[in-house]
């Protein structure tokens, strides 16, 4: 039976891969989770870095309540997503659910428009004048901190993508320690930078290798 996704990423034109891959990589590579990629239409979407990503589902084919967490990347130009009523409608359907919404950089504006940040403090990477332009963005609750956790919403400024990932992973119950992907501490020794598989993992690698080459060559 196919593993059901507990997590979803919303994508839209000019979304930032860089701001969320610290989080999505940990979920998929470290913890073996599956992530649904959602968009308003089932067609390729280009990230701000130029990568083409094809969604697995449209937002009409999913509900926020289907997921433990919905992740929203920032976008160099948030306006196409901000005025995409299908995307905003999907988010509005998340009001009153237990789903965790994790939004970074400019994407908290989408949560504001959907009403998911009503009465909640949040942070974001957009300019103050941007926030003041839209009446649905409550500037009284717009605080200027790296990461803000308020109820079932986690928001962050884009440059703090590591701290954002750590906060989301901790909230979801994953043990990533206090220094998740933090290399600013003491210098590593050569021994600490020497990576060895366990016997079990090495055997798993050898078994997989046999699918690609003549096993006798490697014995």
Question: What domains appear along the chain, each with residue ranges and CATH number?
Answer: 7-171 (3.40.50.880)
In tens, the pLDDT along 176-219 reads 877 788 877 778 888 988 888 899 999 998 888 888 876 555 55
Q: How far apart are CA 14 and CA 77, in angstroms?
A: 6
In tens, the pLDDT along 39-90 reads 999 999 999 999 999 999 999 999 999 999 999 999 999 999 999 999 999 9
Which residues make beta-bridge pairs with 39? 58
Q: How far apart are CA 19 and CA 49, in angstroms?
A: 11
* Lookup result for tokens 């079932």: 152
Of residues 163 and 5, more confidently modeled: 163
Q: Are 137 and 86 in contact (CB under 8 A)?
A: no
155 φψ region: left (φ > 0), alpha (ψ -120 to 50), beta (else): beta
- The 3 state secondary structure assigned to 26-77 is HHHHHCCCCEEEEECCCCCEEECCCCEECCCEEHHHCCHHHCCEEEECCECC
């Amino acid at each position: 039976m196919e593993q059901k996704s507990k997590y979803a990423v919303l994508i839209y034109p000019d979304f930032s891969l860089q701001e969320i891959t610290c989080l999505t990589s940990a979920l998929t590579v470290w913890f073996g989770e599956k992530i649904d990629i959602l968009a308003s239409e089932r067609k390729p979407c280009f990230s701000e870095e130029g990568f083409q990503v094809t969604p697995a589902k449209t937002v009409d084919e999913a509900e926020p309540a289907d997921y433990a967490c919905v992740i929203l990347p920032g976008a160099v130009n948030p306006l196409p997503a901000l005025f995409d009523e299908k995307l905003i409608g999907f988010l509005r359907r998340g009001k009153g659910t237990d789903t965790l919404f994790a939004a970074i950089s400019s994407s908290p504006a989408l949560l504001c428009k959907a009403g998911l940040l009503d009465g909640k403090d949040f942070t974001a990477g957009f300019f103050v004048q941007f926030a003041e332009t839209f009446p649905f963005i409550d500037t009284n609750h717009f605080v200027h901190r790296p990461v803000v956790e308020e109820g079932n919403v986690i928001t962050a400024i884009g440059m703090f993508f590591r701290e954002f990932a750590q906060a989301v992973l901790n909230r979801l119950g994953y043990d990533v320690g206090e220094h998740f992907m933090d290399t600013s501490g003491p210098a590593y020794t050569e021994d600490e930078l020497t990576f060895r598989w366990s016997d079990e993992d090495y055997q798993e690698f050898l078994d997989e290798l046999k699918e690609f080459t003549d096993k006798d060559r490697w014995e």
